[in-house]
Chain A
Amino acid sequence: MKFIDEYRDKDKIRTVLEEIHRRADEPLTLMEVCGTHTVSIARYGLRKVLPETIRLISGPGCPVCVTSNGDIDRAISMARIPGAAVATFGDMIRVPGSASTLALERANGQDVRVVYSPLDALKIAEENPGIKIIFDGVGFETTAPTVAATALEARTRGLKNFFIFSAHKTVPLALKALLSLGEVKLDGFLLPGHVSAIIGSHPYEFLAEEFGMACVISGFEPLDILQSILMLVRQAKSRRPKVEIQYRRGVDPGGNPKALEVMARAFEPADVEWRGIGQIPGTGLVLRDEFAELDASRVFNLPVPPAKEARGCRCGEVLRGVIRPEECALFAGLCTPQTPVGPCMVSFEGSCAAAYKYGS
């Protein structure tokens, strides 16, 4: 496939790896913060072929994994509303809330529908005027503009039975919070490629300027990731941290202005809870007052009991890069993709699921 196969070329991979081995003579700890990077790194066994000087850890890059237990509980309570259906992205339906999952609710007869696009949920609403369709919006800045565009479309079409429950979050300030926790000593970041296709490179500059982090915005194929690691190694050695774009075919420094504009028209920042991390100010996206009639959390104000985390689940520490999945006592024992305890094992992009499926 064009724009994919070329970046999996074995000879080129070997060449870049040799260069990395040649250059990486001092220890470096790098964090990747994108679920798709987590999967790619695991699938291609990149940790095994990198030099021992480079430690690659996973951060909170899986938006499904960092959706709070409370938000899952709220989505579940919406699914239980008579005459309402929850439309959601596929990998949300098996994520455990305090006591249930959307998949379990569906098995129990509630109306839960998996969609590929928020526009699909809009179509369902148009075709079923008698059902209240509540779209469960999860995702970072890659996804938020698509949901924002859908909100605007719903408004234009005058739909009265379409609602959005936003659990969307933004990345840059979350990285700041993570660094401020000071739990892991990092030298640099492998930054998300498609979030950056939307927001560009400028929002990350504080990571280099204030925190001295080497930063490279990376594509997702093995060559992309390896080239990015080489760029990070070079940056670290030069002692001049900055934000570079490896994924130049996918990211402009200014991002996608239209997508940013649409996102800002429908959403505004809010303080929200990240599962496993706690509250991070300004990292949530909530629908603006003008869209109150579309806002499921305002229209369906359902109280839910305080959220409860599963005992023994260490997803939080995995998400903060403090432990690797294998260090959790439940990993591959009580917690497997078939019987997941926490979100990191359920989500296709969760660190634990990737480690289980591909090995570390």
Chain B
Amino acid sequence: MCVAIPARIKSIEGSLADVEVGGVLRKISVQLTPEARKDDYVLVHAGFAIHIIDEQEARETLKVFEELGALEDEREGFKDSRGQGFE
């Protein structure tokens, strides 16, 4: 029931937008996200956009994993070079 899907806005006319999800086009209401613009990605639930996805935040979240991965590599590298555990 909480399912909302990221979709790209292809065009907007008034309170309706044409969105694309993996190649499929649908009309949705942007009444609840009046700041939404063409090319924005929005979360779509029950035929309405409920949130404009923050691409910067999306990138930040992924960066955290990359950093975690880099930290992991460092630990491994440190362990190898010293021959003992990092912690």
Q: Do A and B bind each other?
A: yes
Q: In the complex, A284 Cα to B18 Cα: how many Å? A: 33
Known A-B contacts A12-B69, A194-B2, A248-B60; the reply to A120 vs B47 at CB < 8 A is: yes
B65 lies within 8 A of A16 (CB): yes
Q: In the complex, A7 Cα to B66 Cα: how many Å? A: 12
A249 lies within 8 A of B32 (CB): no
B31 lies within 8 A of A36 (CB): no
A142 lies within 8 A of B32 (CB): no
From the candidates B48, B62, B65, name the one contacting A149 in the complex (CB within 8 A): B48
Q: Does B45 contact A (CB under 8 A)?
A: yes
B48 lies within 8 A of A140 (CB): no
Q: Does B12 contact A (CB under 8 A)?
A: no
Chain B residues near A62: list those with CB within 8 A.
1
Tell me, rounded to whole Å, the shortest Cβ–Cβ distance linking B24 to chain A: 11
Known A-B contacts A9-B65, A198-B50, A250-B51; the reply to A142 vs B1 at CB < 8 A is: yes
Closest to A4 in B: B6
Interface string of A246-257 (1 = CB under 8 A from B): 101111100010
B47 lies within 8 A of A140 (CB): no
B21 lies within 8 A of A1 (CB): yes
A256 lies within 8 A of B6 (CB): no
B2 lies within 8 A of A192 (CB): yes
Q: Does B61 contact A (CB under 8 A)?
A: yes
B51 lies within 8 A of A3 (CB): no
Closest to B21 in A: A1
Interface residue ranges of A15-36 to B (CB < 8 Å): 15-16, 18-19, 34-36
Closest to B47 in A: A117
Q: In the complex, A1 Cα to B68 Cα: how many Å? A: 24
From the candidates A3, A7, A19, A146, name the one contacting B32 in the complex (CB within 8 A): A146
Closest to B67 in A: A15
B43 lies within 8 A of A194 (CB): yes
For the complex, count residues of B whose C-beta is within 8 A of A: 36
A149 lies within 8 A of B61 (CB): no
For the complex, count residues of A whose C-beta is within 8 A of B: 59
Q: In the complex, A6 Cα to B61 Cα: how many Å? A: 10
Closest to A62 in B: B1
Among the interface residues A2, A11, A62, A224, which one has the most CB atoms of the partner chain B within 10 A?
Answer: A2
Q: In the complex, A193 Cα to B58 Cα: how many Å? A: 14
Known A-B contacts A4-B6, A62-B1; the reply to A149 vs B29 at CB < 8 A is: yes
From the candidates B50, B55, B61, name the one contacting A256 in the complex (CB within 8 A): B50
Q: In the complex, A246 Cα to B64 Cα: how many Å? A: 11
A259 lies within 8 A of B2 (CB): no
A145 lies within 8 A of B33 (CB): no
Known pairs A12-B66, A36-B2; list 5 more (Cβ under 8 Å): A118-B47, A194-B45, A250-B43, A250-B53, A256-B33
26 contacts between A and B (CB under 8 A): A3-B58, A7-B62, A12-B65, A12-B68, A15-B72, A35-B1, A36-B1, A37-B2, A63-B1, A119-B47, A138-B1, A142-B4, A146-B32, A146-B46, A149-B31, A194-B2, A194-B45, A198-B50, A248-B60, A249-B61, A251-B51, A256-B33, A256-B50, A256-B51, A262-B31, A347-B1
Using a CB–CB cutoff of 8 Å, the interface residues on chain A facing chain B are 1-4, 6-7, 9, 11-12, 15-16, 18-19, 34-37, 61-64, 89, 91, 116-120, 138-140, 142-143, 145-146, 149, 192-195, 197-198, 219-220, 223-224, 227, 246, 248-252, 256, 258-259, 262, 347, 349
